[in-house]
């Protein structure tokens, strides 16, 4: 089968290649890929940024989001059948959606939302699971709380704004001038145009900040929190809990804590908290999210769709910041929209 394979770590180490179809374990389903989503995580894995924690064996197929059709079912799988339309964010060390077929642990798979096309569904799993795990599980957002979500027109931001609004929060977001209206249609109550205003000068008293930008943006985010408030970063810096989540040695946890010491100390000084977040695959949560998409509470935002042969170009489109709003998707269908 054709796939896009990381042969060596680094920007130029990924190639189109012919590889064997994946083997299917007893707990797996084989999915014929209809579409795959592009995520910033693809670049991080491709470049080896996480290789101390995620020990992929080179060469491996890249790709963290998939929608497609089940073509084979392992002997221990009883709730999925050949012909089912599904979507998934395969678990770490078993990714590989930039291919014609992928074998996925059945626990990571859910029926595709009936209201979404394959291309739309492929844009959902990683960002929707991240938003769910942060807002529902980690922060336990309650009605009336104030939540700031950065980059509200991005793949994660556009999903998190909608979910936070569904949970009853008052939602603020940052965005460019051209995406201000989109952010409002997604449910943002307060939209700060970062090209004209500094969010830290106009926002205060927030219970939660979801930061996907890191660096100076994260540091400033701490100042808009109320006492005891929580900033959750998905762009880093990582902390010891991340190393523990991935089962890394405790020594690596110390390294992670060192990387985030400055921001955690700053948070303590301000009487707030900082935590790093790295999402986990979860088919049962995707089933709950499917219901939200099918009921119209959530909708995917798609920037553009590339044909499968142009997967590397699609990655470059995301990497170079050319995506204006939402997710970039690659599609197996000849009509790539």
Is the Cβ–Cβ distance between 148 and 189 less than 8 Å?
no
In the structure encoding, which two tokens stand for residue 14, read together? 């990924």
In the structure encoding, which two tokens stand for residue 222, read together? 């701490």
CATH classification of 2-123+300-331, choosing from 3.40.50.2000, 3.90.180.10, 3.40.50.300, 3.30.70.360?
3.90.180.10
pLDDT reported for residue 334? 60
pTM, whole model, 2 decimals? 0.97
Is the Cβ–Cβ distance between 170 and 144 less than 8 Å?
yes
Taking domain 126-276, whether its CATH number is 3.40.50.720 is answered by yes
pLDDT at 7 over 70: yes
Q: Tokens 């959902």 belong to which residue? A: 124
Is the Cβ–Cβ distance between 269 and 222 less than 8 Å?
no
The gap from C-alpha 140 to its chain's centroid, in whole angstroms, comes to 19
Cα dihedral 13, 16, 21, 25, rounded to 10, equals 40
Q: What is the mean pLDDT of residues 5-22?
A: 97
Least confident span in 202-206, 245-249, 260-264, 278-282: 245-249
pLDDT at 336 over 70: no
Sign of the CA dihedral running 330, 149, 113, 94: positive
Give one DSSP letter per residue of 156-192, joined into a string.
HHHHHHHHHHHTT-EEEEEE-GGGHHHHHHTT-SEEE
The residues of the chain that CATH labels 3.40.50.720 are 126-276
The residues of the chain that CATH labels 3.90.180.10 are 2-123+300-331
Mean pLDDT, all residues of the chain: 96
Q: Tokens 């929580």 belong to which residue? A: 230
Task: Quote the CA–CA distance of 44 and 47 in Å, as a whole number.
Answer: 5
Model confidence pLDDT, tens digit, residues 136-159: 999 999 999 999 999 999 999 999
In the structure encoding, which two tokens stand for residue 16, read together? 């189109």
The gap from C-alpha 293 to its chain's centroid, in whole angstroms, comes to 16
Name which residue leads in pLDDT, 337 or 61: 61
> Which residues are CB-neighbours of 290 under 8 A, at least 6 positions away?
110, 111, 112, 113
Helices (H), 203-329: 215-221, 240-245, 250-259, 261-270, 283-294, 311-319
pLDDT at 266 over 60: yes
Model confidence pLDDT, tens digit, residues 53-106: 899 999 999 999 999 999 999 999 999 999 999 999 999 999 999 999 999 999
Model confidence pLDDT, tens digit, residues 163-199: 999 999 999 999 999 999 999 999 999 999 999 999 9
In the structure encoding, which two tokens stand for residue 248, read together? 């890394």
pLDDT reported for residue 262? 96
Alpha carbons within 13 angstroms on the beta-carbon side of residue 149 total: 31
């Amino acid at each position: 089968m054709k796939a896009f394979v990381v042969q060596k770590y680094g920007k130029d180490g990924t190639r189109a290649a012919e590889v064997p179809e994946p083997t299917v374990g007893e707990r797996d389903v084989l999915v014929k890929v209809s579409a795959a989503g592009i995520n910033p995580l693809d670049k991080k894995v491709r470049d080896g940024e996480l290789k101390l924690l995620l020990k992929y064996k080179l060469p491996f197929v890249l790709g963290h989001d998939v929608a497609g059709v089940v073509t084979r079912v392992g002997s221990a799988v009883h709730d999925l059948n050949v012909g089912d339309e599904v979507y998934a964010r395969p678990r770490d060390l078993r990714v590989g959606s930039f291919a014609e077929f992928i074998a996925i642990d059945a626990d990571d798979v859910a029926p595709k939302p009936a209201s979404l096309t394959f291309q739309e569904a492929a844009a959902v799993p990683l960002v929707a699971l991240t938003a769910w795990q942060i807002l529902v599980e980690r922060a336990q957002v309650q009605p009336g709380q104030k939540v700031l979500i950065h980059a509200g027109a991005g793949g994660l931001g556009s999903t998190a704004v909608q979910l936070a609004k569904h949970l009853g929060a008052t939602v603020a977001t940052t965005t460019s001038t051209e995406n201000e209206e989109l952010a409002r249609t997604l449910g943002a109550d307060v939209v700060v145009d970062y090209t004209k205003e500094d969010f830290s000068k106009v926002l205060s008293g927030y219970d939660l900040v979801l930061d996907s930008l890191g660096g100076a943006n994260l540091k400033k985010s701490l100042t808009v929190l109320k006492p005891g408030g929580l900033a959750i970063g998905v762009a880093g810096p990582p902390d010891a809990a991340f190393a523990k989540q991935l089962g890394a040695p405790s020594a690596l946890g110390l390294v992670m804590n060192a990387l985030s010491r400055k921001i955690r100390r700053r948070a303590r000084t301000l009487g707030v908290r900082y935590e790093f977040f790295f999402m986990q695959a979860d088919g049962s949560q995707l089933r709950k999210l499917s219901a939200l998409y099918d009921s119209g509470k959530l909708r995917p935002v798609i920037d553009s769709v590339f044909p499968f042969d142009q997967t590397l170009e699609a990655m470059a489109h995301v990497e170079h910041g050319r995506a204006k709003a939402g997710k970039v998707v690659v599609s197996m269908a000849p009509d790539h929209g």
